[in-house]
């Protein structure tokens, strides 16, 4: 389970970096399709960590460590960022036809939204990784798990 979580996170990170420049890798078609796929991977990432989400959601306003609370808020912001990124990406897509969705709003607005949300989300991704750095080190066998609860 942890190995699959690790590889999924690694794929999301690499894909996210490649998606930051629409001209990178195989151009706009890759950018748009990979952008949709990363959304699916993100949902999968949430499903794999559903136990933690459930636990913190229930205990958020009760007894909950400050760190878990901060991670939870960061995750909610990441979720909002990813959602905005995909939504605005759909609105300005050129190689895939999403005109049937009728999202409304001007193209200019969605473009600005897409750039801003992706830049903010990348920064949040970096912070998220930094806060889970111990988990990464344990997965890479560079650090020993303290009590076997580095999940």
Give CA–CA dist 10/78, Å, rounded. 16
Closer Cβ to another protein, 23 or 62, answer by number = 23
Closer Cβ to another protein, 21 or 62, answer by number = 21
Residues 125-145 as b or e (16 or more Cβ within 10 Å = b) = beebeeeeeebbebbeeeeee
Instruction: Give the range of 17-25, 38-46, 48-56, 143-151 binding another protein by CB under 8 A.
Output: 17-25
Q: Does 42 interact with another protein (rule: CB under 8 A)?
A: no
Give CA–CA dist 151/148, Å, rounded. 8
Query: Interface residues with another protein (CB under 8 A)?
Result: 13, 17-18, 20-29, 31, 94-95, 106, 108-109, 111-113, 115-117, 119-120, 122-123, 125-131, 133
């Amino acid at each position: 389970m942890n190995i699959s979580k690790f590889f999924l996170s690694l794929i999301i990170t690499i894909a996210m970096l490649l998606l930051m420049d629409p001209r990178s890798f195989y151009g706009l078609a890759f950018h748009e399709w990979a952008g949709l796929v990363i959304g699916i991977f993100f949902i999968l990432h949430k499903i794999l960590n559903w136990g933690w989400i459930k636990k913190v959601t229930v205990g958020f306003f009760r007894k909950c460590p400050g760190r878990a609370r901060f991670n939870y808020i960061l995750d909610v912001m990441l979720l909002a960022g990813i959602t905005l990124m995909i939504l605005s990406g759909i609105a300005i897509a050129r190689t895939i036809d999403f005109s049937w969705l009728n999202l409304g709003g001007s193209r200019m607005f969605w473009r600005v939204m897409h750039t801003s949300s992706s830049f903010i989300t990348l920064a949040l991704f970096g912070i998220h990784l930094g806060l889970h750095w111990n988990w990464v080190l344990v997965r890479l066998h560079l650090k020993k798990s303290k009590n076997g609860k580095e999940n």
